Amino acid sequence: MTETTTEVPGYIPGTYMLDPGHSDVAFTVRHMMVSKVRGHFTKVEAEIVLARNPLDSSATATIDPNSIDTNNPTRDDDLRSANFFEVDKHPTISFRSTGVRHSEDGFDLEGELTVRGVTRPVTLALDVNGFTKDPYGGTRAGFSATGEIDRKDFDITTNIPMDGGGVVIGDTIQLFIEVEAILQQPAEG
């Protein structure tokens, strides 16, 4: 395999931490076969290590599933229960990247997602939105990522059949991630 030099405009290598006030980890899932329920997690931590060669970069994230918010407290309580996330036994959702590669539209971030103690590979389509100085003298980076998982792959199998066919909750979960991260430590050298 030949090594490709990757250029990202304004790229600043180093270690970044997610700014939770300016980031969002969200999802949608089909509901009753006619609409989508949207939700997000309000407690997320992430570290992004941008290497000199962007393809050598890495990311880790931890999500508190107790922080789920679908704008419906009763549904959120059900999602925290053994029917779905079982937060009493599995208090975190985690992601660890395993590689970055070029894609048609930017980059693919390969990784391992752990939900309910089950780890599966996941690919996120990644856009690098840019780098900037903030008004306080810090450096910020922005990223967007999207992906899709099947909830059954993570042993989330609760289902309610509907009269006439179909189910109340779809299997496919669409992921939408917006990250603004703050540089903590510039890359050495």
Mean pLDDT check: name the lowest of 7-11, 51-55, 88-92, 154-158.
154-158
pLDDT of residue 104: 87
pLDDT at residue 2 greater than cutoff 50: no
Residue 33 — pLDDT band, cuts 50, 70, 90?
A: low
Mean pLDDT check: name the lowest of 11-15, 49-53, 89-93, 164-168.
164-168
- Region 102-108: what's the mean pLDDT? 91
Distance of CA 152 to the CA centre of its chain: 18
Task: Please report the sign of the dihedral spanned by the C-alpha atoms of residue 146, residue 149, residue 154, residue 160.
Answer: positive
Q: Going from the N-terminus, what domains does the chain have, and what CATH number goes with each?
A: 14-28+35-145+174-186 (2.40.128.110)
Mean pLDDT check: name the lowest of 100-114, 128-142, 155-169.
155-169
pLDDT of residue 3: 44
pTM passes above 0.85: yes
Nearest in space to 106 (alpha carbons), one of 173, 7, 180, 174:
7
Residue 157 — pLDDT band, cuts 50, 70, 90?
A: confident
Per-residue pLDDT tens digits for 49-96: 999 999 999 999 999 999 999 999 998 999 999 989 999 999 999 999
Q: What's the mean per-residue pLDDT of the chain? A: 90
Nearest in space to 132 (alpha carbons), one of 16, 46, 37, 2:
16
Percent of all residues in the chain with a pLDDT value above 90, rounded to a whole number: 75
pLDDT of residue 35: 67
- Region 116-132: what's the mean pLDDT? 97
Across 15-19, 102-106, 169-173, the highest mean pLDDT is recorded for 15-19
Q: Which residues contact 53 (CB under 8 A, 6 or more apart)?
A: 5, 6
pLDDT of residue 159: 73
